[in-house]
Amino acid sequence: MDIEQQPTGNGTLIARLSGKLSLETVSGFLQDLRPLDAPKLILDMSGVSYLDSAGVGALVQLFVHRRGKSQKFALAALTPQGVAVMQVSGLVKLLPNFPTVEEAPQQLSRKAQSARLPGSHSSRLWNGLPCLLRR
């Protein structure tokens, strides 16, 4: 897994991923991305050749970590295989994601805020994610 970081201004950092996001690569992925302090992080997933359940788990861990620090996070340009894996996992509607990298910065604030509405269905799901990750 290769990660190229591209700051875009306004506190947004785009991380362009290439290669597999799988059991073999999630440790390095998290070690590289968890320490980033950018207020907004967009993962360009267009170069991800393979995404498995461990990779999805790493995306959720990164989202929960950033949410705990009041930092925003989104996925952009998922490949067809990535979309399929996210749909099967049930997270395609919960993790902020956008068809293109260009759309993500403008929409990120609105979508991230809607995931935190008190009493909303998605808010209850997000609050339960940390305990699911500890299992």
**In CATH, 2-100+112-134 is 3.30.750.24:** yes
pLDDT tens digits along 36-66: 999 999 999 999 999 999 999 999 999 999 9
pLDDT tens digits along 79-107: 999 999 999 999 988 899 999 999 888 77
Sequence length of the chain is 135
- For residues 60-92, b (16+ Cβ closer than 10 Å) or e, as one string? bbbbebbbeeebbbbbbbbeeebbebbeebebb
* Domains in the chain: boundaries: 2-100+112-134
Q: How many whole angstroms separate alpha carbon 65 and alpha carbon 108?
A: 17
Is the torsion defined by CA of 57, 2, 65, 40 positive or negative? Answer: negative
pLDDT over threshold 80, residue 13: yes
pLDDT tens digits along 58-78: 999 999 999 999 999 999 999
pTM over 0.85: no
pLDDT over threshold 50, residue 135: no
